[in-house]
Chains A and B, each alone.
Chain A
Amino acid sequence: MESMEEETPRIGVFVCHCGINIGGVVNVPEVVEYAKKLPCVVYAEENLYTCSSEGISKIKEGIAKYNLNRVIVASCTPRTHEPLFRGACEEAGVNKYLFEMANIRDQCSWAHMHEPEGATEKAKDLVRMAVAKSRLLKPLEEPEIDVTPSALVIGGGISGMTAALCLSNQGFKVHIVEKEPELGGMLGHLYKLYPTMQDASESLNHVVNSVKSNKSIEVLTSTVVKQVKGFIGNFEVTVQKANDETANFEAGTIIVATGAPIFEPVGMYGYGEYDNVITQLRLEQLLKDGQLKKPESVVMIQCVGAREKEGRTYCSRICCMTAIKNALLIKDLHPDTDVYILFRELQTYGKHYEEHYRTAQDKGVKFVKYLQEKSPRVVSGKNGELTVNVYHALLNEELKIGSDLVVLSTPLIQHEDARELSQILKVPLGPDGFFFEVHVKLRPIDFATDGIYVCGTAHSPKDTPESVSQAFGVASRAAIPMALKRLRTEAITAVVHENLCSGCGTCVKLCPYGAIEKDEKGVARVTEVVCKGCGVCAATCPERAIEMRHFTSEQVMAQALAALGRTSA
């Protein structure tokens, strides 16, 4: 390896005609002749299609025949073709990071079709720039790490348990850490579940039993995570039991499935003041225990503490369906009870929820649209009877609804101790307080930190089908590194020159992946397997002590100078 670095560069340049796509504009033979004269270039040729199987064998032959240790292909874009050519180099014994490309099609012949001379000049410059970089390229290795085939699942609700079962079925060991004495999470407090109206505890018990009887799942209840060290494949986890005992184990991956409690609307609509103003969650409990005394008139108020102008600005997604479900359940029990749902914007999205809304209307549940700026008011009479005053936005009139049970639909919110967990894991919370994924669109259940994932209501309010879908999702994401057992990571990473580092810590703060830490000596150290190679640290380091592999300052500068027709100083 070392000897290779010292070797003088012997560069081969392969210039592609791409049929007539390049050759029809750029004078390819001229570019080849030009390339031959550049420093360190020992061979150059033209190909009709360098990417064809013929072209690929030409590269390999060239490497063998001219003892090339660097290869340049001047053709199309590295974004699509670099892997192919790198593969060819590797097969012929040249480290794939000693390959470089000059984009003389997409960014030259195609863009300058009517300027053949200018295009040819530019093509030569691009080749010269590639040569300038190529001379300075270093062979790189993609570090490999072992992955412990076991996962830590934080939170033993339906999401955590689903993920755990799915992972164990795939052959991995799982530790579930649940802070409460029992598994089950929110479902343990619910009565029936929309959309199927299944019994919550019955379904839940089935899952809990599967988890408990599963030999590869270790359940730790009344336990929380105290410390996590390490990185993907090699997390060292410390947990703490209620009796302060601690335990350690290793995990290859971590799943955050801590769920979300509901907002307690103390002081709103008489909650905490009148006994018959309750939350949906309390109503579920009453229904479950069969303790709901027949009410004459139930008023449910939606968006209590949700979709606010400031603070909890988000919609909690599940409350409209929860209200409809519970309204239907009350109607089933007591058909002549009046049930009102005061809503702002009904969220009966998706393929079956609209039907529940219609059924509720058919069964006589009354839907009243209210406006945020004219929120309902709950007033209590002399004998404790309640009246809900609300402006009906569609009928354009003020209603006074007598009620002996007011049910408030409050949003799911983040746990109070979530911030602590987010700091232990070094993963972020979003502006709404929920765990924040790395990419909202395409990596919705991954964190920026490799090997840590999120699912269920810890991520944002959602119902059981959606939580379970995500739980299976993380069971796939987490299984990828564990199934591979060994991970190949980025070769293009940052390196710190220790003797230059002043330990100022700027890079530690700005790395979006938490890949840089200060070591015992107070010097920055890159955890290579976590680094993604963006290079922001290198460009920012106050001491210029960080270098980006494959995009070193020296290499980039050489390219820039070559672009200007100057040689490196």
Chain B
Amino acid sequence: MTFEPRIVGFLCNWCSYAGADLAGVSRISYPTNIRIIRLMCSGRVEPVIVLETLAQGADGVLVMGCHIGDCHYISGNLYAERKINVLKKLLARTSLEVGRLRLEWVSASEGGRFAELVKDFVEQIKALGPSPLAGDKPDKNILAGVLAAKAAAEDFRLRLLVGREKTMIDDGNVYGEKVSEEELDKILNEVIDTEFVRNRIYLLVKEKPLSVKELSERLDLDSKTVLRHVVVMRRRGLITVDRVEGTSPLYTALEVGR
């Protein structure tokens, strides 16, 4: 059987959903693979939902909004752009292909463009093959990465940073100092790295107690880095020592709110 990808589309009501309607009204055909979820604004696209959708085995996620400047809610699509940017960075740290997520702008008069983009995305996904997370036996390792990414996307620090990015660039921080895109990108990368690794550690030790050495093997990271994270996580009350085996402490997860 040929591979028919399952693609979930999150479309804004005002431009992209209207563009998808227009493709139909103009009888422009495109592959049947996409299932569209209508939202009022692309800015409503919640990163956690996107990651959960991928974790649940979607072969691809296509987010569409109004062209920059056309947002019905003034600036929602700018926020969508920032979020997808972060999502891609998170995905890049997992073993799931970043190409399974795509953001595009489609206006209400671009029925043809909508159809083209769907066609193109379906091709892109076909080239990638079925999601390793689809079906009954998802790849455990990859799933662990995506779940860690999801946990990072739920995390306060990362969300706070993403939520403030635009204001920091436009209006500056509390001291009125404006931050450049490049500086911000650097900060963002650091926070994402940290959050992603910590969440992976957390999820791993939640399954069963592990030592720093074991963690560093599983995460393919040097033990020094792992130890640094473990220390912070301990201090924050996220993990604790379960028992000591030989000379190595084994860590385990503490139940935290939400």
Measuring CB to CB, which residues of chain A are less than 8 angstroms from any residue of chain B? Answer: 77-79, 103, 105-115, 118-119, 121-122, 125-126, 129, 438, 448, 492, 502, 504, 506-507, 509-510, 512, 532-536, 538-544, 548, 551, 553, 556-557, 559-561, 563-566
- From known contacts A548-B44, A556-B46, A561-B56, infer whether A534 and B24 are also in contact, taking CB-CB under 8 Å: no
- From known contacts A542-B156, A560-B56, A564-B57, infer whether A553 and B49 are also in contact, taking CB-CB under 8 Å: yes
Q: Which residues of A contact B167 (CB under 8 A)?
A: 509-510
Distance (whole angstroms) from the CB of B257 to the closest CB of chain A: 10
Indicate whether B204 reaches chain A with its CB closer than 8 angstroms.
no
Distance (whole angstroms) from the CB of B39 to the closest CB of chain A: 6
Inter-chain contact A541/B163, CB cutoff 8 Å = yes
Indicate whether B13 reaches chain A with its CB closer than 8 angstroms.
yes
Distance (whole angstroms) from the CB of A503 to the closest CB of chain B: 12
By beta carbon, the residue of chain A nearest B22 is A106
By beta carbon, the residue of chain A nearest B160 is A542
Inter-chain contact B8/A564, CB cutoff 8 Å = yes
Q: Which residues of A contact B254 (CB under 8 A)?
A: none
How far, in whole Å, are A534 and B49 apart by their CA atoms in the complex?
17
Inter-chain contact A535/B25, CB cutoff 8 Å = no
Within 8 A of A (CB), among B31-60: 32, 35-41, 43-49, 52-53, 56-58
Distance (whole angstroms) from the CB of A492 to the closest CB of chain B: 7
Q: Which residues of A contact B58 (CB under 8 A)?
A: 560, 563-564
Q: Which residues of A contact B162 (CB under 8 A)?
A: 540
Q: Which of A509, A539, A561 contacts B164 (CB 8 A)?
A: A509
Q: Which residues of A contact B73 (CB under 8 A)?
A: 512, 532, 534, 536
Q: Which residues of B contact A111 (CB under 8 A)?
A: 23-24, 27-30, 115
How far, in whole Å, are A557 and B76 apart by their CA atoms in the complex?
20
Inter-chain contact B37/A129, CB cutoff 8 Å = yes
Q: Which of A506, A538, A557, A563 contacts B35 (CB 8 A)?
A: A563
Q: Which of A78, A113, A560, A564 contacts B27 (CB 8 A)?
A: A113
- From known contacts A105-B24, A438-B74, infer whether A535 and B37 are also in contact, taking CB-CB under 8 Å: no
By beta carbon, the residue of chain A nearest B134 is A564
Inter-chain contact A510/B166, CB cutoff 8 Å = yes
Number of A-B contacts (CB under 8 A): 159
Q: Which residues of B contact A492 (CB under 8 A)?
A: 40
Inter-chain contact A563/B6, CB cutoff 8 Å = yes
Inter-chain contact A129/B163, CB cutoff 8 Å = no
Distance (whole angstroms) from the CB of A567 to the closest CB of chain B: 10
Enumerate the 8 nearest inter-chain pairs by beta-carbon distance, A residue then B residue, closest first. Answer: A535-B44, A106-B24, A110-B24, A536-B43, A118-B32, A534-B73, A563-B35, A542-B159
Q: Which residues of A contact B159 (CB under 8 A)?
A: 540-544
Q: Which of A113, A556, A563 contacts B39 (CB 8 A)?
A: A556
How far, in whole Å, are A510 and B24 apart by their CA atoms in the complex?
35
Q: List 6 A-B contacts (CB under 8 A).
A: A113-B29, A510-B79, A535-B39, A540-B159, A548-B44, A564-B57
Within 8 A of A (CB), among B72-102: 72-76, 79, 83
Please indicate which of the listed interface residues B45, B52, B57, B159 has the most CB atoms of chain A within 10 Å of its own CB. B159
How far, in whole Å, are A105 and B23 apart by their CA atoms in the complex?
11
Q: Which of A114, A509, A536, A541 contacts B76 (CB 8 A)?
A: A536
Inter-chain contact B160/A506, CB cutoff 8 Å = yes
Distance (whole angstroms) from the CB of A226 to the closest CB of chain B: 24
Distance (whole angstroms) from the CB of A129 to the closest CB of chain B: 7
Distance (whole angstroms) from the CB of B40 to the closest CB of chain A: 6
- From known contacts A103-B36, A106-B21, A536-B73, infer whether A560 and B49 are also in contact, taking CB-CB under 8 Å: yes
How far, in whole Å, are A114 and B27 apart by their CA atoms in the complex?
11
- From known contacts A539-B47, A540-B163, A551-B44, infer whether A512 and B75 are also in contact, taking CB-CB under 8 Å: yes
Q: Which residues of A contact B49 (CB under 8 A)?
A: 553, 556-557, 560
Q: Which of B17, B40, B53, B74 contacts A535 (CB 8 A)?
A: B40
Inter-chain contact B13/A536, CB cutoff 8 Å = no
By beta carbon, the residue of chain B nearest A117 is B32
Q: Which residues of B contact A119 (CB under 8 A)?
A: 32
Q: Which of A107, A109, A564 contacts B21 (CB 8 A)?
A: A107
- From known contacts A112-B29, A557-B49, infer whether A77 and B21 are also in contact, taking CB-CB under 8 Å: yes
Distance (whole angstroms) from the CB of B9 to the closest CB of chain A: 9
Distance (whole angstroms) from the CB of B133 to the closest CB of chain A: 10
Inter-chain contact B154/A544, CB cutoff 8 Å = yes
How far, in whole Å, are A173 and B157 apart by their CA atoms in the complex?
50
Q: Which residues of A contact B17 (CB under 8 A)?
A: 77, 79
Inter-chain contact A534/B29, CB cutoff 8 Å = no
Inter-chain contact B35/A510, CB cutoff 8 Å = no
Q: Which residues of A contact B30 (CB under 8 A)?
A: 111-112
Please indicate which of the listed interface residues A112, A533, A539 has the most CB atoms of chain B within 10 Å of its own CB. A539
Q: Which residues of B contact A78 (CB under 8 A)?
A: 38
How far, in whole Å, are A559 and B46 apart by their CA atoms in the complex?
14
Q: Which residues of A contact B48 (CB under 8 A)?
A: 544, 553
Distance (whole angstroms) from the CB of B102 to the closest CB of chain A: 16
Inter-chain contact A564/B37, CB cutoff 8 Å = no
How far, in whole Å, are A557 and B162 apart by their CA atoms in the complex?
21
Distance (whole angstroms) from the CB of B191 to the closest CB of chain A: 12
How far, in whole Å, are A111 and B119 apart by their CA atoms in the complex?
12
Inter-chain contact A560/B52, CB cutoff 8 Å = yes
Q: Which residues of A contact B23 (CB under 8 A)?
A: 106-107, 111
Distance (whole angstroms) from the CB of A532 to the closest CB of chain B: 6
How far, in whole Å, are A299 and B182 apart by their CA atoms in the complex?
51
Distance (whole angstroms) from the CB of A553 to the closest CB of chain B: 6
By beta carbon, the residue of chain B nearest A500 is B258
Q: Which residues of B contact A533 (CB under 8 A)?
A: 40
How far, in whole Å, are A294 and B163 apart by their CA atoms in the complex?
65
- From known contacts A534-B73, A553-B46, A557-B52, infer whether A79 and B13 are also in contact, taking CB-CB under 8 Å: yes
Inter-chain contact B8/A502, CB cutoff 8 Å = no
- From known contacts A79-B13, A114-B29, A563-B35, infer whether A534 and B21 are also in contact, taking CB-CB under 8 Å: no
- From known contacts A105-B24, A129-B35, A535-B40, infer whether A564 and B79 are also in contact, taking CB-CB under 8 Å: no
Q: Which residues of B contact A535 (CB under 8 A)?
A: 39-41, 43-44, 76
Please indicate which of the listed interface residues B38, B49, B57 has the most CB atoms of chain A within 10 Å of its own CB. B38
How far, in whole Å, are A560 and B76 apart by their CA atoms in the complex?
21
Indicate whether B192 reaches chain A with its CB closer than 8 angstroms.
no
Q: Which residues of A contact B75 (CB under 8 A)?
A: 510, 512, 536
Inter-chain contact A506/B44, CB cutoff 8 Å = no
Distance (whole angstroms) from the CB of A257 to the closest CB of chain B: 23
Q: Which residues of A contact B57 (CB under 8 A)?
A: 564, 566
